[in-house]
Amino acid sequence: MYTPPILLFNAHAETIYPSLFRTVTLAPYQRERIPTPDQDFLDLDWISNGSTKLVIISHGLEGNSHRAYIKGMAAAACRSGFDVLAWNYRGCSEEMNRQLRFYHSGATDDLQVVVTHAIRKGYTEISLVGFSLGGNLTLKYLGEQKPPSQIAQAVVFSVPMELHSSCLQISKPTNWIYSNRFLRSLKKKVKAKSEVMPELDISGLHNVSTLIEFDDHFTAPIHGFNNALDYYQQCSSIRFVNAITTKTLIVNAQNDPFLSAECYPEVQLKNHAYVTFESPRHGGHVGFSQFNKNGLYWSEERAMNFLTQH
């Protein structure tokens, strides 16, 4: 199990250090833009090793393919001989998407578009890796429908499997640095979208002070949910994991400041035939830093060990 460097002395240090200070050396991505069925687009970033095996990596809230945790996992997958596809959600690739909708924790239709595109390129074995929101998206995708036979396995980290309680958790005063950062970014994105889509009413944006209020005012109605609670209930991956029939590893650190108690379903998954749940004492949220010569973090080593074993 994971042991943090001595300098990262608590959950917040474990979470913040890699986000702010990690740099990853990685071959340049090859950008591809693909259409969606509703005349929007998704930007995909590829690294090819000439393999028939592919790792598709899904990022977290307000992330993108250039975040250090995505590039770190991409580098680890490349070393293990996989081709890599790091995809960007709608509105997360430095260009506003075309439709009113953007992305959310349960938008598995876009992940399906990406998977289908990869299969058409000839990949015979596809592994899914997801972080945080991308982990929830991955688990929901695997559990809500029978995935294509090319989907061989999945690994997810730091997953808010129960969205409502996790949203309450990240909104606690001790986590203000995270919730405020996400909220500022989301409000900026909605404001920018309203400038090109006047039908997006942002008149109440200045009154939104929490992530739940943001989801209530924007995420839920834009994407067809009754309210934030309906969105959380319908999209929480905890509702879908029992139905997963793909070999899957879930890793949620016990000291993750973003996750509620409901995100640690040891009992629920104890005898699951396909899903393994691990909960190391340390790691923070999308952390798992290591200071070593190969530059890999523990999460990347754990993921590649799982993917190559299976």
Q: Which domain CATH number covers 47?
A: 3.40.50.1820
Checking if the pLDDT of 310 tops 80, the result is no
- Locate 65 and state its tokens: 């393919």
Asked if residue 214 is part of any domain, the answer here is no
Residue 1 confidence (pLDDT): 87
Residues counted in the chain: 310
Asked if residue 22 is part of any domain, the answer here is yes
Determine the structural domain holding residue 291 and report its residue range: 11-161+244-309
Q: Report pLDDT digits (tens) over 13-65.
A: 999 999 999 999 999 999 999 999 999 999 999 999 999 999 999 999 999 99
Asked if residue 218 is part of any domain, the answer here is no
Indicate the number of domains in the chain: 1
- Locate 141 and state its tokens: 């995708």
Model confidence band, residue 145 (pLDDT cutoffs 50, 70, 90): confident
State the DSSP string of 60-128. Answer: -TT--TTSHHHHHHHHHHHHTT-EEEEEE-TT-SSS--SSS----TT-HHHHHHHHHHHHHTT-SEEEE
Asked if residue 239 is part of any domain, the answer here is no
Asked if residue 40 is part of any domain, the answer here is yes
Checking if the pLDDT of 174 tops 90, the result is yes
Model confidence band, residue 277 (pLDDT cutoffs 50, 70, 90): very high
Asked if residue 120 is part of any domain, the answer here is yes
Q: What is the pTM of this model?
A: 0.97
Residue 122 confidence (pLDDT): 97
CB atoms within 10 A of CB 94: 9
Checking if the pLDDT of 306 tops 80, the result is yes
Mean pLDDT of 193-203: 94
Asked if residue 76 is part of any domain, the answer here is yes
Asked if residue 231 is part of any domain, the answer here is no
CA angle 71, 72, 74 (to 5 degrees): 60
Checking if the pLDDT of 190 tops 80, the result is yes
Q: Report pLDDT digits (tens) over 55-113.
A: 999 999 999 999 999 999 999 999 999 999 999 999 999 999 999 999 999 999 999 99
Q: What is the pLDDT of the chain when averaged over all its residues? A: 97
